[in-house]
Amino acid sequence: MCLGVLDHLPVSQLRGVGPRLAAQLADYGVTHIEDLLFHLPLRYQDRTRISPIGALQEGSEATIEGEIRVADIAFGRRRSLVARIQDGSGTLTLRFFHFSAAQKNGLQPGTRLRCFGQVRRGSSGFEIFHPEYRALDEPLPMDETLTPIYPTTTGIGQNQWRKLCSQALLYLEKAQPADLLPTGHGIGFSLVAALHYLHAPPPDAPLAQLVAGEHPAQLRLALEELVAHNLSLLRLRARQQSVPAPSLPIHSAAGLQRALLNSLPFSPTGAQQRVIGEIATDLARPLPMLRLVQGDVGSGKTLVAACAALQAIASGYQVALMAPTEILAEQHRHNFSTWFEALDIELEWLSGRVKGKSRQAAIERIASGVAGLVIGTHALFQQDVVFNRLGLVIVDEQHKFGVHQRLALSQKALDQGRAHQLVLTATPIPRTLSMVAYADLDCSVIDELPPGRQPVTTVLVDSSRREQVVTRVADACARGRQAYWVCTLIEESDALQAQAAEATAEVLREALPDLRVGLVHGRLKPAEKAAVMAAFKAGELALLVATTVIEVGVDVPNASLMIIENPERLGLAQLHQLRGRVGRGGGASHCVLLYQTPLSHTGKQRLAAMRESNDGFYIAERDLELRGPGEVLGTRQTGLMTFRVAELPTHNHLLDQVQEIAAKLQQGDPRVVDELIQRWTGSRARFGDV
């Protein structure tokens, strides 16, 4: 079934593995022989053939053989030992910056050597720094396979990895485990053959294809890994839905929903209506809903959330609405208290800043069930927050929470009896990625903006033209428009961000003495923040200098110009969110990305994507291409999306097959599913155990 018995054989079975090495291997997650087999090389070296010096290419790694003609100490900027070596097709310099006396004596003219190293261009032809070399006293055999280079940091050297892995391959040969993937998917390699190939590729293996991750042996493993990952999410979903949730009938909320919609100055878009309907159907089922709503900035997700909340509240259940930042939670509190007050629904508020007596009172109102809707930050997670009848949990902007918080939330929903879960995100997740990362959720997309939204024209300006940008702000404000000036810092520290924003505000106040300039950052007290925002909204401030705290939830239609300083420091999703603060009124809006030179190649491409499009989905796809899935999902640190073999978007083309195969396997023997999940996610499958 599994890799024979290899998942039961500890690495200590292998020759040369004592307790010390075993402990070091464990740091790499390698405890069993099976783990070693999946510790795959990063790249390869070709030591299977000798290259003529005359045919070498700069940058390549090569084995050469030749005779030393001269050897001497060179006194340049750094003292070095140089040996000129010739093979009939050309001459090459070996250069050593560190060397021993014995080494120097060994490199006498007339000695024949075999050398390996990276070829670089020096002042007089090709050179190799610190080559590996051996004297050719007698003929040396060539390697029969390419040399694997394993991922390693400290402790374990390449030779050690090679020895261990070749021993593991022998065990693999003996065990000859059966394949877990169904046959007939156009995959030429069996699991055993693929592992064998990748640990010891033949001399004619296509190196470029291997480096690109596109070799059929790699595709075979990537496919299996993605299938395993998909299965683990499907299992998570199945477990979550294995217990009942309250069925919340649609009709009981009809009156409240009509009252809410009648109180609004607009009617919902077609897309909003569709998504509201999808959620309503889910909530009426006696199974926990697990739904992700994706909608671009300003697409009106809040109203969708409100309608869902009413369905739960109308049936006598409580709703928790959680936001990632205080400002956004505040914004929701403001919206919902206006909307729900008229409907006689009690609202409660809980954030990290609510302390002492008020916190106690809030907790009591939540526990007694008086509060129908509870809005807050992650403070809602805390142990002592106990709901009376929690029916629905809504998470806004879950992108920022990351998958782990989402799971912590499921746990909360579970602890409190089963609750339905609704996740809202303004960071569209590329379809490919959501298939992999969110296979446990159903997805709804609000693919339409309310009428009258203007696309924002985005320009890139380098920071040497900062003064022109300041003039542009002055012009816009003179015409009665308002502007944001956003300061970014890499540091996560609120204090440093606040300092930077303060300094910028000072400079701008001096440069623009006729304008009223406001300042908002994370260090202000909530009341101060609210006062500044209100003044800006009322038009009393023309220019608002801000940190990225304004990223979400701020709505000032008259603001039509945004300057973002050092946009190269931010992710595309974040830039898109920021930019979504303008273009909300009738007139044309602009966004100036004031970047710092020099900009890296990727940096240029990323900012160009912002100029090219206002479409969050397009931008998310570009972000995925340019930065990879870990960054896009914000889970880089958690390691959840780091695959061993699979790479996105390189292996995107496998994803349709992945779904097909996973669905097929789910119908079959559950032991095969367990085996696959265990093999590929190992201890990381913990998240599947929620």
Q: CA–CA separation, 293 vs 443, rounded Å?
A: 6
Q: For ligand ADP, what does the binding mask look like between residues 161 and 200, x meaning CB under 6 A?
A: ----------------------------------------
Q: CA–CA separation, 452 vs 454, rounded Å?
A: 6
Question: What is the smallest separation between the CB atom of 535 and ligand ADP, expressed in angstroms?
Answer: 19
Question: What is the smallest separation between the CB atom of 492 and ligand ADP, expressed in angstroms?
Answer: 24
Task: Tell me if 196 sits within 8 A of 174, measured CB to CB.
Answer: no
| Span interacting with ligand ADP, options 9-17, 244-252, 301-309, 473-481, rule CB under 6 A | 301-309
Report the 10 Å Cβ neighbour count for 651.
22
Task: Tell me if 617 sits within 8 A of 433, measured CB to CB.
Answer: no
Question: What is the smallest separation between the CB atom of 401 and ligand ADP, expressed in angstroms?
Answer: 16
Tokens 């009322």 belong to 538
Burial class (CB in 10 A: 0-12, 13-18, 19+), 239: middle
Long-range contacts of 179-187 (CB under 8 A, 24+ apart): 180/1, 180/224, 180/672, 180/675, 180/676, 180/679, 181/223, 181/224, 181/227, 181/661, 182/661, 182/664, 182/665, 185/223, 185/657, 185/660, 185/661, 187/216, 187/219, 187/220, 187/223
The amino acid sitting at 132 is E
Q: CA–CA separation, 579 vs 577, rounded Å?
A: 5
Q: CA–CA separation, 86 vs 73, rounded Å?
A: 18
| Span interacting with ligand ADP, options 214-222, 276-284, 290-298, 499-507, rule CB under 6 A | 290-298
Question: What is the smallest separation between the CB atom of 510 and ligand ADP, expressed in angstroms?
Answer: 34
Task: Tell me if 46 sits within 8 A of 63, measured CB to CB.
Answer: yes
Residue 303 as a binder of ligand ADP (CB under 6 A): the answer is yes
Residues 444-483 binding ligand ADP (CB under 6 A) are 450
- Which residues on neighbouring strands pair with residue 421, listed in sequence order? 290, 393
User: Binding ligand ADP by CB under 6 A: which of 297, 309, 380, 483?
Assistant: 297
Question: What is the smallest separation between the CB atom of 309 and ligand ADP, expressed in angstroms?
Answer: 13
Instruction: Output the CA angle 41-631-442, nearest 5 degrees.
Output: 105
User: Binding ligand ADP by CB under 6 A: which of 302, 318, 425, 434?
Assistant: 302
Q: How many residues make contact with ligand ADP (CB under 6 A)?
A: 15
Name the nearest CA neighbour of 150 among 47, 43, 48, 222. Answer: 43
Residue 309 as a binder of ligand ADP (CB under 6 A): the answer is no
Question: What is the smallest separation between the CB atom of 302 and ligand ADP, expressed in angstroms?
Answer: 3
Name the nearest CA neighbour of 486 among 533, 551, 427. Answer: 551
Question: What is the smallest separation between the CB atom of 425 and ligand ADP, expressed in angstroms?
Answer: 10
Question: What is the smallest separation between the CB atom of 270 and ligand ADP, expressed in angstroms?
Answer: 9
Residue 300 as a binder of ligand ADP (CB under 6 A): the answer is yes
Q: For ligand ADP, what does the binding mask look like between residues 88 and 127, x meaning CB under 6 A?
A: ----------------------------------------
| Span interacting with ligand ADP, options 51-59, 199-207, 293-301, 457-465, rule CB under 6 A | 293-301
Question: Closer to ligand ADP at the Cβ: 25 or 445?
Answer: 445
Question: What is the smallest separation between the CB atom of 665 and ligand ADP, expressed in angstroms?
Answer: 37
Residues 368-427 binding ligand ADP (CB under 6 A) are 426
| Span interacting with ligand ADP, options 280-288, 295-303, 380-388, 588-596, rule CB under 6 A | 295-303
Question: Closer to ligand ADP at the Cβ: 426 or 550?
Answer: 426
Burial class (CB in 10 A: 0-12, 13-18, 19+), 130: middle
User: Binding ligand ADP by CB under 6 A: which of 215, 229, 291, 301?
Assistant: 301
User: Binding ligand ADP by CB under 6 A: which of 299, 432, 560, 681?
Assistant: 299
Question: What is the smallest separation between the CB atom of 490 and ligand ADP, expressed in angstroms?
Answer: 26
Burial class (CB in 10 A: 0-12, 13-18, 19+), 604: middle
Question: Closer to ligand ADP at the Cβ: 66 or 428?
Answer: 428
Question: What is the smallest separation between the CB atom of 295 and ligand ADP, expressed in angstroms?
Answer: 5
Residues 218-277 binding ligand ADP (CB under 6 A) are 266, 268-269, 272
Question: Closer to ligand ADP at the Cβ: 364 or 555?
Answer: 555
Element (H, E) at 115: strand 112-118
Question: What is the smallest separation between the CB atom of 13 and ligand ADP, expressed in angstroms?
Answer: 56
Instruction: Compute the Cα dihedral for 198, 204, 210, 215 and give only its sign.
Output: negative
User: Binding ligand ADP by CB under 6 A: which of 148, 295, 372, 688?
Assistant: 295
Name the residue number minimizing CB distance to ligand ADP. 300
- Alpha helix (H) ranges present in 97-185? 101-106, 158-175
Question: Closer to ligand ADP at the Cβ: 336 or 387?
Answer: 336
Question: What is the smallest separation between the CB atom of 426 and ligand ADP, expressed in angstroms?
Answer: 5
Tokens of 690: 């929620």
Give the CA count within 13 Å in the CB-facing half-sphere of 295.
24
DSSP for residue 96: E
First to last CA, the chain: 26
DSSP for residue 32: B
Task: Tell me if 311 sits within 8 A of 250, measured CB to CB.
Answer: yes
Question: Closer to ligand ADP at the Cβ: 424 or 545?
Answer: 424
User: Binding ligand ADP by CB under 6 A: which of 173, 555, 612, 689?
Assistant: 555
User: Binding ligand ADP by CB under 6 A: which of 106, 298, 571, 630?
Assistant: 298
Interacting residues toward ligand ADP by CB under 6 A: 266, 268-269, 272, 295, 297-303, 426, 450, 555
